[in-house]
Amino acid sequence: MKTTNQLLKPVTAKIGENGNIEIGGCDLVELAQKYDTPLYVMDEATIRSICADYKKAFSGYQKVNMMFASKALCTMATSALLAQEGFGFDVVSSGEIYTVYKAGVDMNKVLFNGNNKSFEELTLAIDLGVGRISVDNFFELSLLNEIAKSKNKMVDILLRITPGIECHTHEYIQTGHLDSKFGFDLTQIDEAVELILNEYKNLKLHGLHAHIGSQIFETSIYGDEIEILVKEIARLDEKFSLKLDEVNVGGGLGVKYNDEDVPPSTYEIADKIISRLNSCIEKYGIEPPALFIEPGRSIISTAGVTLYTIGSSKQVPKGKTYFAVDGGMADNARPSMYQAKYSCEIVNKPSQELAKTVTIAGRFCESGDILIKDVLLPELEEGDIVCVYNTGAYNYSMASNYNRVQKSAMVLVNNSQSDIIVNRETLDDLISHDVIPGRLKRD
Q: Rounded to an integer, what is the distance from CA 272 to the centroid of its chain?
A: 22
User: E strands of 362-408, at which residues?
Assistant: 370-377, 385-389
Q: How confident is the model at residue 167 (pLDDT cuts 50, 70, 90)?
A: very low
Cβ within 8 Å of residue 123, ≥6 positions away = 147
What is the DSSP secondary structure assignment for residue 261, as one 8-state letter?
-
Please work out, in degrees rounded to the nearest 5, the angle formed at the alpha carbon of residue 61 by the alpha carbons of 57 and 66. 65
Which pLDDT tens digit goes with each residue over 345-374?
A: 999 999 999 999 999 999 999 999 999 999
The pTM (predicted TM-score) of the whole model is 0.94
Q: Kindly tell me if the per-residue pLDDT of 323 is higher than 80.
A: yes
Confidence label for 175 from pLDDT (cuts 50, 70 and 90) = very low
**Is 180 a residue whose pLDDT tops 70?**
no
pLDDT digits (tens, 9 = 90+) for 278-309: 999 999 999 999 999 999 999 999 999 999 99
Strand-pairing partners, residue 97, are none
Q: Is the pLDDT of residue 128 over 80?
A: yes
pLDDT tens readout for residues 34-43: 999 999 999 9
Given a contact cutoff of 8 angstroms between Cβ atoms, the answer to whether 279 and 227 are in contact is no
Residue 20 has pLDDT above 60, yes or no: yes
Average the pLDDT over each of 10-14, 108-112, 131-135, 180-184 and give the range with the smallest value.
Answer: 180-184
Summarize the confidence of residues 178-184 as an average pLDDT: 69
* Chain mean pLDDT for the chain: 94
Q: What percentage of the chain reaches a pLDDT higher than 90? A: 92
Every domain of the chain and the residues it spans? 4-42+303-431, 44-300
**In the prediction, which pLDDT does 29 show?**
98
Active site (catalytic) residues: 365
Tens digits of residue pLDDT in 412-439:
999 999 999 999 999 999 999 999 999 9
- Written as one letter, the residue type at 360 is I
The whole-number pLDDT of residue 173 equals 35
Question: What's the rounded mean pLDDT across residues 305-315?
Answer: 97
Predicted confidence (pLDDT) at residue 176 exceeds the cutoff of 50: no
pLDDT in tens, 56-88: 999 999 999 999 999 999 999 999 999 999 999
Cα R_g (the chain), whole angstroms: 23
> Does 339 score more than 50 pLDDT?
yes
Pick the CATH number of 4-42+303-431 from 3.40.50.10900, 3.65.10.10, 2.40.37.10, 3.40.50.150: 2.40.37.10
Please report, as a single letter, which amino acid is at residue 117. Answer: K
pLDDT attached to residue 170: 36
* Separation in Å, CA 282 to CA 219, 221, 255: 21, 20, 33
DSSP state of 274: H
At residue 223, does pLDDT exceed 60? yes
More confident residue, 307 or 318: 307
Asked whether the beta carbons of 215 and 256 are under 8 A apart, the reply is no
Which of 398, 387, 227, 213 minimizes the C-alpha distance to 298?
Answer: 213
Which residues, 6+ apart, have CB-to-CB distance to 333 below 8 Å?
A: 394, 395, 398, 399, 400
Beta strands in 140-202 (DSSP E): 155-162, 184-185
Report, as an integer, the average pLDDT of 244-272.
96
Give the whole-angstrom CA distance, residue 24 versus residue 43.
6
pLDDT at 442: 80
Query: What confidence score (pLDDT) does residue 164 get?
Result: 76
Dihedral sign, Cα of residue 262, residue 267, residue 271, residue 274: positive
Report the pLDDT value the prediction gives residue 172, as an integer from 0 to 100. Answer: 35
Q: What are phi and psi of 314, to 5 degrees?
A: -150, 130
22-26, 196-200, 209-213: lowest mean pLDDT where?
209-213
Q: Regarding the domain delimited by 44-300, which CATH topology (the fold level of the hierarchy) does it fall under?
A: TIM Barrel (3.20.20)
pLDDT number for residue 166: 59
